[in-house]
Amino acid sequence: MHFTHAITRLPADTFSQGISTANLGKPALQKAVEQHEDYVRALQLSGLTCMVLPPAPTFPDSVFVEDTAIVTNNFAVIARPGAQSRLGEIDEMTTILRYHFSKVHQIQEPGTLDGGDVCQVEGHFFIGISARTNQNGANQLAEYLKMHAYSSEIVPICEFSGILHLKSAVNYLGEETLLVDPRLADHSAFQKYRRLVVSLEDAYSANCLRVNEVVLVPSGFPKTLELVQKAGFQTTELDASEYQKMDGGLSCLSLRW
């Protein structure tokens, strides 16, 4: 998958008021802004044109734009976030994506769907059922994907404590390779892929992000970095500490197509 565009949003001064179960303390806003700047720079160095939206203080979690939509090269699906406080985030994103895509679908009530629960592997999509994405929302997305000749598979993750979204635990690195949390490493859905399994203590680092020729890896996880490098991937480390405090990872910070 080759990306040319990305949408990101700067963290607001209300960022620390967002939803979090991490118990790692409050994020430092200035540090979060600096980390965001480094993130955007990494996307640009990989050849992406980045739209950086201004902060949206009404929505503390809005820096995590990935949850608002699912985007491909030729269509988009507006999500319906499972957290009530995040529903309003889709309004502006809908306007933006309608400008970029001629085909835009939308998840409707009673469905809920966070983009973080959707992992694309070439022409196939894994859709996680989680505390944020319900069966109805997953089924709606599967139907939209089918309309565009994509296949999909539903992967329930509610039983795994501490895994917020599917992509908190499973990410596609390219070359038929997944980076996975050990709790999902033996799941039947992933058996046909090469699996790089992070340690349970480094579970957060399963959320790496492949952007064209580079895999972005959260800093502070040397074992995961080595695992990805030994598998033959070029890497760039990025500090995501302030986003980890708010249950977010590297993939959460952008929409890419």
Residues in the chain, pLDDT under 50: none
Residue 162, beta-bridge partner list: none
Q: Is residue 114 part of a domain?
A: yes
**Token pair recorded at residue 251:** 């993939």
Q: How far is CA 31 from CA 13, 21, 26, 106, 238, in A?
A: 12, 20, 11, 34, 13
Residues 6+ apart with CB under 8 A from 65: 7, 8, 9, 53, 89, 93, 252, 253, 254, 255
Q: Is residue 150 part of a domain?
A: yes
pLDDT the model gives residue 235: 99
Q: Is residue 212 part of a domain?
A: no
Q: Catalytic one among 50, 165, 187, 208?
A: 165
Quote the number of domains for the chain.
1
pLDDT the model gives residue 67: 99
Q: Is residue 45 part of a domain?
A: yes
Q: Is residue 31 part of a domain?
A: yes
pLDDT the model gives residue 202: 99
Q: Is residue 214 part of a domain?
A: no
**Token pair recorded at residue 103:** 């085909």
Does this model's pTM top 0.75?
Answer: yes
CB of 150 closer than 8 Å to CB of 125: yes
Q: Is residue 224 part of a domain?
A: no
pLDDT the model gives residue 89: 99
Range of the domain at 29: 5-166+240-256
For residues 117 and 91, give the distance between their C-alpha atoms in angstroms, rounded to a whole number.
20
Side chain identity at residue 240, one-letter code:
A
Q: Is residue 186 part of a domain?
A: no
Query: For residue 48, which of 242, 166, 209 has the smallest C-alpha distance?
Result: 209
Active site residue 187: no
pLDDT the model gives residue 17: 98
Query: For residue 141, which of 219, 77, 226 has the smallest C-alpha distance?
Result: 77
pLDDT the model gives residue 222: 99
Residue 113, beta-bridge partner list: 80
CATH number, domain containing residue 248 = 3.75.10.10
Active site residue 165: yes
For residues 31 and 48, give the distance between their C-alpha atoms in angstroms, rounded to a whole number.
23
